[in-house]
A and B are shown apart, each in its own frame.
Chain A
Amino acid sequence: MLGITDYIRNDLEGVYTAELLRGAISMFFAVILTQILELGEARAYILIVALNGLRSMTGETLPRRLLNIIISLFLLVGTIGLSIWYGHNHMYLAQTVTAIVLSSATVYALAGHKSASGTIMFMSVFNIVNFGMGLLDVNHEVNPANFSVAAGCGSLCVITSVLAVPVLKFHWCLLINHCFYHDLKLYARMMCRSSYYDSFSDLSEKSKNRLLMLQSSLYNITKHVDDPERRERYVKILNGVVLITYWPTTDTDSVHVAHINSLRNSIFKLMYGLLSAGSDADVKTAVDELNFFRLNLAMVPDDPFCNGEMKRHAGEVIEAITELKMREIKNASSE
């Protein structure tokens, strides 16, 4: 199932979500207007313009964005009108030429003029679809008068939704942290359930793919965290977790391999316990367990092969994650 974390993972900047909200608002008003107004066959154009007129939401400031949207709406509505006219009059040659020019322009815009590409793309789509609609409308039920009213209403819905959601991006705030913990939990669960391995090559291809996907996801989420202190800790966790995962054991004896594996297994198991903890009390218990593990680790003599480096990385990961969790509990209780 594609859940909320999958969605956030794919829209970390919140661009699609802003568009989704604008689309929903615009469609909501469009449906109401479709039910209220008596425009015959032309009323569908309220829905079409309302849904597809939002693609030119670019520009630094709101007036600039509104201007872009208005220009885009003029172009889109003009294209629809022209295409219906072509359809009514069975102008196949003109339609073919227009479709080729617009679609080629779309490819060109996508390569070099991204901001204009949305408008040109939908001009192409509208041109193709509405020529077909024009052909179907044998009784010419869509005429300039009712089409203008419908297009105007659709445009009004678009402008309203832009004013209601004027931002280009959304920040996920606390949800992005939830997403980080979610993916880290999956990573820890996978690592603590992986069977004993001599080298990384022993892991199955599926596990490697999954690990890499989770690593990329954690890295991407970290990039979108605003709080610099938190971001720094996330980077520290990611760094430590990746190093622990791939720590080398080639050509060393079985005691050393067992030691590295047990260290790896323990830290991921405890991390999984912490990340799965529901209540504050459970989190505190898991934090205590992790801290106790870190203290024990510090007291155990260094492995003759790894000079305590893996222990140091494990300690850094534990420190970062426990501090984050304790700070969150503290902040929650002070609110």
Chain B
Amino acid sequence: MPHQNKSPLKAQIKVMAVSMLIAELAAWAYPVDQSFWIPLTTFCVCLYIDTPLTALRRTVHRIGGSICGVIIAGLICLLFPSESGLMTFLVIFAGLTLWSRAFTSLYYLFVSCITAATIMLLAILMRHTALTPNYLITERVIFTTIGAIISLAVSAVFMPATEKPDMLRTYRHYLTRFYLEYRLCIYSLRNHPDTPAEKTDIRVNEILKSSRVYQEKLPVWRYALFFNVFIFRSFTRFLHRIHKMRILNMVLISSIGNLPEDLDFSDEIKSLLERNRILTKRILLSLMNLDRKRCEQYLSELHTVNNELETLMHAHRSCTTILIAVRDLEQDMVHLKNGAVQIYLGYRNQKY
């Protein structure tokens, strides 16, 4: 079973080797000048892929970028056919190629620039031959398409499609991150005022750093859910909600730090806070295990606990923000339980 390959590097090397073999054979069999563009494209597409969908994304960018590059370079070759003109644009496109490397997520931009630069270089090299539309279209666009399709097909056969388990991993990862921070908040609230300040630190940097990681994954998931835009959008909403929930933990910590030094909660409040923490943990675990029924049961218990907390803590005016945030988080968890992502992941990942 190819989809059970456990080493991603081995799969990548295998895809590269097989793709290059097919591409070289295709270039050999294709009796046209410049057929080397086939293996070149195959090589470029295979370079940074680890799943068939990353290959699809690079293929789309590669073909789209090549078409743009061909159009731009073709127009320039027609408008400025002199050698000095071509040389000037070669330097400009070479500079733009280096400039576009900074925009790593906009691969098509890099491909457009490098295609235009290559055409300029070849136009200078082949000054004695005419730069025909056949040369531009056949030898760039068609060869690019063939090369990209070879790598796409090979990656579909040899690479594991890990996006959906990866989505579930991400879902679980962010729920865990949220819980660890929330636990810190509840502990420091329960033990107030004995918790040292350095132990109640939630850094915005850490939250933003992990948000950046999922932002980078989103373009690939967009392809994974190409035929299910609704779920993709729900997944984006889920990630925004978790981000917001983690910021609410920061609000909680900030409010706890603002509590009066002499405030000491009764044992009843402390035990309710502990109940809140345990129930939150259970809710998150049932969300991670994609068990909505159990989650619903814990949520109703949490609602009761929060009601009791509100009644008891009402006397402490300084705790109002804390109560608002706790309520907000409860509602967020209800949203997560009812969210399309939970249902979708439950349906798709029963085997994982």
A residues sitting closer than 8 Å to B (CB atoms) are 2, 6-7, 10-11, 16-17, 19-20, 23-24, 27-28, 31, 34-35, 41, 44, 47-48, 51, 92, 95-96, 99-100, 103-104, 106-108, 110-112, 121, 124-125, 128-129, 131-133, 135-136, 199-201, 205, 208-209, 212-213, 215-216, 219-220, 222-223, 235, 238-239, 242-243, 245-252, 304-309, 312-313
Asked if B35 and A213 sit within 8 Å, CB to CB, the answer is no
Q: Which of B99-107, B176-184, B185-193, B264-272 contacts A (4 or more CB under 8 A)?
A: B99-107
Neighbour of B40 across the interface among A2, A31, A125, CB < 8 A = A125
Given the contacts A208-B240, A213-B215, A246-B247, A305 and B321 also touching, CB distance less than 8 Å: yes
Asked if A108 and B121 sit within 8 Å, CB to CB, the answer is no
Asked if A95 and B321 sit within 8 Å, CB to CB, the answer is no
B100-140 residues at the A interface, CB under 8 angstroms: 101-104, 121, 124-125
Asked if A212 and B40 sit within 8 Å, CB to CB, the answer is no
CB within 8 Å: A-B pair count: 193
Given the contacts A20-B95, A131-B36, A307 and B250 also touching, CB distance less than 8 Å: no
Determine whether B200 belongs to the interface, using a CB cutoff of 8 Å to chain A. no
Asked if B208 and A11 sit within 8 Å, CB to CB, the answer is no
Given the contacts A10-B104, A108-B9, A242 and B35 also touching, CB distance less than 8 Å: no
A23 contacts which chain B residues (CB < 8 A)?
A: 94-95, 98
Given the contacts A28-B91, A212-B243, A219-B204, A247 and B255 also touching, CB distance less than 8 Å: no
Asked if B102 and A10 sit within 8 Å, CB to CB, the answer is yes
Q: A16-B101, A47-B121, A103-B43 are in contact. List 17 more A-B contacts (CB 8 A).
A: A19-B98, A20-B98, A23-B95, A24-B95, A31-B90, A34-B87, A99-B24, A104-B20, A106-B43, A107-B13, A131-B36, A205-B233, A208-B240, A235-B205, A242-B208, A307-B258, A308-B258
A7 contacts which chain B residues (CB < 8 A)?
A: 99, 102-103
B261-317 residues at the A interface, CB under 8 angstroms: 317
User: B233-259 vs A: 1/0 string, CB under 8 Å?
Assistant: 100110011011001101100110010
Q: Which of B71-79, B158-166, B325-333 contacts A (4 or more CB under 8 A)?
A: B325-333
Give CA–CA (A166, B236) in the complex, Å. 43
A125 contacts which chain B residues (CB < 8 A)?
A: 40, 43
Determine whether B157 belongs to the interface, using a CB cutoff of 8 Å to chain A. no
B6-32 residues at the A interface, CB under 8 angstroms: 9, 12-13, 16-17, 20-21, 24-25, 27-28
Give CA–CA (A96, B251) in the complex, Å. 61
B220 contacts which chain A residues (CB < 8 A)?
A: none
Closest to B246 in A: A246
Give CA–CA (A273, B208) in the complex, Å. 26
A239 contacts which chain B residues (CB < 8 A)?
A: 204, 250
Asked if B47 and A216 sit within 8 Å, CB to CB, the answer is no
Given the contacts A107-B16, A219-B208, A250-B331, A41 and B125 also touching, CB distance less than 8 Å: yes
B241 contacts which chain A residues (CB < 8 A)?
A: 201
Asked if A107 and B47 sit within 8 Å, CB to CB, the answer is yes
Give CA–CA (A308, B108) in the complex, Å. 50
Asked if B255 and A250 sit within 8 Å, CB to CB, the answer is no
Determine whether B348 belongs to the interface, using a CB cutoff of 8 Å to chain A. no
Given the contacts A107-B16, A304-B317, A309-B254, A249 and B91 also touching, CB distance less than 8 Å: no
**Min CB gap B101→A, angstroms:** 5
Give CA–CA (A128, B45) in the complex, Å. 14
B216-243 residues at the A interface, CB under 8 angstroms: 233, 236-237, 240-241, 243
Give CA–CA (A104, B335) in the complex, Å. 47
A201 contacts which chain B residues (CB < 8 A)?
A: 241, 335
Give CA–CA (A95, B36) in the complex, Å. 11
Give CA–CA (A131, B37) in the complex, Å. 11
Asked if A313 and B254 sit within 8 Å, CB to CB, the answer is yes
Give CA–CA (A216, B212) in the complex, Å. 6
The 4 closest A-B pairs by CB, nearest first: A132-B36, A248-B328, A219-B208, A250-B328
